[in-house]
C-alpha cells in the first residue's frame, strides 16, 4: 500500500531474526510512536529483544506512557508464545495489543492490563522518511534507525475514564533494529519538533550518540523537512549541543513501578534547557528546548547484574529559528525528547 510519502511496508517492516553474539549482545528491535496533542502526550513502544539467557528466544515488551496533566503507563512483558510478528510485515500482536498497517496508515490498539489506559489510534504519515541510517553505539555494535518525522493521528485515548478524542493531532514514528547490550558504553539523546500550527511546513529531528559518560560524541545530526520532503541534513561538526541547568525527577512516574527501587533519588543527569544549533555555509538553525516533564523507564543491565539503564521520555516547549537555502525557518510547539543514561 502506497501513501503520499511512499510505500511504507517496504521500509518499516519487522526485521527480527534473533542473532546472538555475547560480545555484541542480543538482537533488539522496536517500533515507536509518539502523539503530541494539545491536551495530552502519548508514547507507545512495541519492542522485541533476544533473551540472553535463552539465545534465539525473543521476549516482547509494550511500553505505554500517557500524560494529560497526570502521568500513567506501564511496561508489559510477553513471552514468545504471546507474540505474533513476521519478518517483512508491519502487522504484529503483543499479547492484547495490535499494530497493523492498512489504507495508508498505522493502526494501534492498546489496552494495558493493570492500568486504566486504552488507545485506539490511526497514524497517517505526512512526510517522507529518512533513509535507514546507522547509529554507532559501540564497536562493533550498530543500530539501524528509520524516521517518519510527521504524522497525523486520529482516534481516542482513555486514561482512567477521561476520554480524549484526537483529530489529526501531530505525531512521530521511528523504527530501530540492531544488536547490542543494555549497559554497554553508550548514551543517546534525540528529539523531534513538529509545530502546533498544522499549516507550518517545517519538521525537525535531531540525535546524538555518545559514550556512556556523554563526553565523546560518536554521531550527531539534525534533519529538516519542508512539507512532505526531506529538505536539509546537518551532520557531525555542523551540529552543536549546549545543555544547561539540572532537571529533577521529583515524583515523576517510573515504569515499571519497581524502577523507583532500582534507581532511587531525584537526580537524573538531564538538562533543564537544551539548545541544538546547526550551521553549514550560509545555512543555520537554532532549536531551543525548555524541558519540564519526565518519565523514567528502567531497564536491567545485560552486563552488570546489579546495574540498570534509564530511558527518560521528556516533554517541553521548543522554538526553532534560522535560515536554510535562503528561506527563513520558524516553528514552535511541544517537543518530545529521549535521553538514555546508564
pLDDT digits (tens, 9 = 90+) for 79-96: 999 999 888 899 999 999
CA angle at 306 for the pair 301 and 312, rounded to the nearest 5°: 45
- 255: domain CATH number is 2.40.370
> Does residue 152 share a domain with residue 276?
no
User: Predicted confidence band at 206 (pLDDT cuts at 50, 70, 90)?
Assistant: very high
DSSP helix/strand/coil, 80: helix
- CA-to-CA distance for 30 and 83, rounded, in angstroms? 13
Domain boundary among 181, 214, 231: 181
- 134 with 218, same domain: the answer is no
Strands 254-255 and 283-300: parallel
Provide the pLDDT confidence category of residue 224 given band limits of 50, 70 and 90.
Answer: very high
**How remote is the C-alpha of 187 from its chain's centroid?**
14
Whether residues 196 and 104 fall in one domain: no
Task: Mean pLDDT check: name the lowest of 97-111, 149-163, 208-222.
Answer: 208-222
**Is the domain of 225 the same as that of 210?**
yes
Q: Which residue has the cell 549546549?
A: 242
Note the pLDDT tens digit of each residue in 160-176: 999 999 999 999 999 99
How much is the pLDDT for 180? 86
H/E element holding 259? helix 259-262
Per-residue pLDDT at 133 exceeds 90: no
The stretch 186-203 carries a mean pLDDT of 93
Predicted pLDDT at 22: 47
Same-domain check for residues 240 and 92: no
CB-CB neighbours of 253 under 10 Å: 22
Q: 114: domain CATH number?
A: 2.40.370.10
pLDDT, position 1: 41
8 Å CB contact between 294 and 271: no
121 and 7 housed in the same domain: yes
What is the phi/psi pair of residue 10, to 5°? Answer: -80, -10
Number of structural domains, the chain? 2
Q: Nearest 5°: phi and psi at 28? A: -140, 145
Give the domain extent around 189: 182-342
Same domain, yes or no: 135 and 83:
yes
Give the residue carrying C-alpha cell 509545530: 195
CB 303, CB 323: distance < 8 Å: no
Region 149-158: mean pLDDT is: 97
For residue 135, pLDDT beyond 70: no
For residue 272, what are the contacts with CB-CB under 8 A and spacing of at least 6? Answer: 244, 245, 246, 247, 290, 291
From 62, 40, 67, select the one nearest 108 (Cα to Cα): 62
Question: Stretch 303-326: mean pLDDT, rounded?
Answer: 93
Rg (CA), the chain: 19
- Greater confidence (220 vs 57) lies with 220
For residues 134 and 271, state if they share a domain. no
Quick check: helix, strand or coil at residue 95?
coil
pLDDT, mean of residues 116-131? 94
pTM: 0.94
Phi, psi angle pair for 259, to nearest 5°: -60, -30
Give the percent of the chain with pLDDT over 90: 68
Size (the chain), residues: 342
Q: How far apart are the first and last CA of the chain?
A: 40
C-alpha distances in Å from residue 307, one per residue of 299, 301, 324, 340: 9, 5, 44, 14
User: Does the pLDDT of residue 2 top 60, yes or no?
Assistant: no
Q: Which of 181, 197, 216 is the last residue in one of the domains? A: 181
Q: DSSP assignment, residue 260?
A: H
Mean pLDDT of the chain: 90
- Domain shared by 190 and 173, yes or no: no
**The pLDDT value given to residue 267:** 67
Cα separation, 333 vs 295, in Å, equals 19
| 103 closest CA partner among 145, 154, 48 | 154
Residues 172 and 291 in one domain: no
Look at residues 165, 181, 197 and tell me which one is the last residue of a structural domain. Answer: 181
Residue-level pLDDT at 15:
86
Backbone angles phi, psi at 237, to 5 degrees: -65, -15
Shared-domain flag, residues 47 and 60? yes
* 75 and 119 both lie in a single domain: yes
Q: What is the per-residue pLDDT for 266? A: 67
Amino acid at each position: 500500500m502506497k501513501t503520499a510519502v511512499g510505500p511504507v511496508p517496504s521500509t518499516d517492516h519487522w526485521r527480527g531474526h534473533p542473532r546472538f553474539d555475547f560480545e555484541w549482545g542480543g538482537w533488539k528491535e522496536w517500533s515507536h510512536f509518539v502523539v503530541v496533542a494539545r491536551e495530552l502526550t502519548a508514547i507507545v513502544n512495541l519492542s522485541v529483544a533476544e533473551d540472553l539467557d535463552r539465545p534465539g528466544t525473543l521476549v516482547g515488551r509494550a511500553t505505554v506512557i500517557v500524560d494529560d496533566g497526570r502521568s500513567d503507563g506501564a511496561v508489559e512483558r510477553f513471552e514468545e508464545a504471546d507474540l505474533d510478528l513476521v519478518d517483512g510485515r508491519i502487522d504484529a500482536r503483543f499479547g492484547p495489543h495490535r499494530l497493523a498497517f492498512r489504507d495508508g496508515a498505522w493502526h494501534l490498539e492498546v489496552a494495558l492490563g493493570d492500568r486504566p489506559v486504552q488507545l485506539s489510534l490511526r497514524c497517517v504519515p505526512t512526510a517522507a522518511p529518512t533513509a535507514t541510517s546507522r547509529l554507532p553505539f559501540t564497536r562493533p555494535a550498530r543500530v539501524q534507525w528509520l524516521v517518519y518525522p510527521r504524522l497525523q493521528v486520529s482516534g481516542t485515548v482513555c486514561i482512567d475514564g477521561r476520554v480524549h478524542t484526537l483529530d489529526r493531532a501531530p505525531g512521530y514514528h521511528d523504527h530501530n533494529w540492531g544488536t547490542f547490550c543494555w549497559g554497554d558504553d553508550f548514551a543517546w539523546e534525540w528529539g523531534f519538533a513538529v509545530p502546533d500550527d498544522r499549516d507550518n511546513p517545517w519538521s525537525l529531528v535531531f540525535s546524538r550518540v555518545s559514550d556512556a559518560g556523554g563526553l565523546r560524541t560518536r554521531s550527531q545530526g539534525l534533519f529538516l523537512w519542508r512539507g512532505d520532503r526531506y529538505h536539509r541534513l546537518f551532520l557531525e561538526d555542523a551540529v552543536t549541543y549546549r545543555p544547561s541547568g539540572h532537571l529533577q525527577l521529583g515524583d515523576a512516574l517510573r515504569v515499571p513501578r519497581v524502577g523507583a527501587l532500582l534507581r532511587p533519588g531525584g537526580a537524573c543527569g538531564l538538562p533543564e534547557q537544551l539548545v541544538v544549533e546547526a550551521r553549514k555555509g550560509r545555512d543555520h538553525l537554532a532549536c531551543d528546548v525548555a524541558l519540564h516533564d519526565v518519565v523514567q523507564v528502567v531497564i536491567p543491565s545485560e552486563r552488570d547484574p546489579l546495574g540498570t539503564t534509564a530511558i527518560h521520555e521528556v516533554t517541553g516547549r521548543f522554538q526553532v529559528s534560522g535560515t536554510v537555502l535562503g528561506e527563513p525557518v520558524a516553528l514552535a510547539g511541544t517537543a518530545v525528547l529521549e535521553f538514555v543514561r546508564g
